[in-house]
């Protein structure tokens, strides 16, 4: 049977969906990271967050992400907190490259990358973590996961997570400096207002929506946390917007060819979109 745009997107989803075992190496460092931070700074709990936890991770690009709830008094500067966590881990894992990439401290282990997001319990619930744009932001990772799951369950086959994964694949393969968390929450919010999920149609209109709002920050759809920013700075947004324009053009062409039953040309545009 000849390939169609729909089957091509399904194959893309399968290819970039990580298997459960692909991150065993990275996840194996959790206990030693937690023990070190508890010894130096004090830890209430450490739990998995991010795209792998949500089921929207991208093979070869997503990392194992953990939020670490720290004891003590929240410092004035979020960077101070990140620096203390980095120094504590670097002293324990001396041969490992450890960097700060707000809101995380990134540990580049030989068998996988672990992103540690430190934070403090916030009054009223949630956690105060470093804002990539500077300062602090309130985050509710467990509630965000629940929100995505609820929207995902509305559509047969899990449309919200598939759309989020497609947007993330585009981001990574086309080197677009947009927050993965932002794309995931935008995908879920977009499909919350749709009655059905059709991959090639919703991919185009989700990208077109991002273009129409010029990657504007979004309110937390749960109504709990801080706004989600799309990019870490004005400079990165300036880099992202022309790439988004190109993506909208290619997804529109793919959709037009798809509706005309010209599957070869539709797939050709999808390959350009995802740099395949």
The two structure tokens encoding residue 226: 């801080």
For residues 226-244, give the mean pLDDT. Answer: 91
Cβ atoms of 18 and 48 closer than 8 Å: no
Distance between CA atoms of 179 and 71, rounded to whole angstroms?
28
- Structure confidence by residue, pLDDT tens digits, 20-73: 777 777 778 999 999 999 999 999 999 988 776 667 888 888 878 899 999 999
CB contact at 8 A, 114 and 101 = no
What residues does 100 pair with on adjacent strands?
Answer: 105
The CA angle 171-167-103, to the nearest 5 degrees, is: 60
Domain ranges of the chain: 5-17+143-274, 20-139
pLDDT grade for 162, boundaries at 50, 70 and 90? very high
Q: Name the class of domain 20-139.
A: alpha beta
pTM, to two decimals: 0.88
Which two tokens mark 240?
């992202």
**Per-residue pLDDT at 248:** 98
Under 8 Å between Cβ of 144 and 188: no
Q: What CATH number labels 5-17+143-274? A: 1.10.1410
pLDDT class for 75, splitting at 50, 70, 90?
A: very high
Q: What is the pLDDT of residues 103-160, one digit of tens each?
A: 999 999 988 889 999 999 998 889 999 988 889 999 998 888 888 889 989 887 789 9
In 63-182, the DSSP E strands lie at 64-70, 97-101, 104-109, 112-121, 127-130, 136-139
């Amino acid at each position: 049977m000849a390939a169609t745009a729909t089957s091509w997107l399904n194959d893309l989803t399968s290819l970039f969906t990580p298997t459960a075992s692909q991150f065993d190496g990275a996840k194996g460092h959790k206990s030693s990271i937690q023990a070190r931070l508890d010894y130096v700074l004090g830890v209430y709990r450490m739990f998995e967050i991010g795209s792998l936890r949500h089921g929207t991770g991208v093979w070869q690009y997503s990392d194992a992400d953990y939020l670490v709830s720290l004891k003590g008094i929240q410092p004035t500067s979020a960077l101070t907190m990140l620096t203390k966590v980095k120094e504590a881990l670097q002293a324990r894992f001396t041969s490992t490259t450890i960097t700060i990439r707000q809101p995380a401290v990134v540990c580049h282990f030989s068998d996988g990358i672990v992103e540690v997001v430190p934070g403090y319990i916030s009054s009223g619930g949630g956690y105060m973590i470093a804002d990539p744009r500077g300062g602090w932001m309130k985050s509710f990772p467990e509630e965000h996961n629940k929100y995505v799951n609820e929207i995902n369950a509305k559509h047969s086959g899990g449309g919200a997570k598939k759309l989020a994964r497609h947007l993330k694949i585009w981001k990574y393969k086309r080197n677009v400096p947009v927050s993965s968390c932002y794309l995931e929450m935008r995908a879920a919010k977009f499909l919350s207002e749709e009655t059905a999920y059709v991959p090639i149609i919703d991919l185009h209109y989700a990208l077109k929506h991002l273009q129409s709002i010029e990657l504007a920050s979004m309110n937390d759809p749960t109504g709990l946390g801080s706004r989600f920013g799309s990019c870490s700075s004005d400079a990165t947004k300036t880099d992202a917007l022309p790439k988004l324009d190109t993506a909208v053009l290619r997804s529109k062409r793919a959709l037009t060819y798809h509706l005309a039953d010209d599957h070869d040309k539709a797939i050709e545009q999808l390959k350009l979109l995802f740099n395949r």
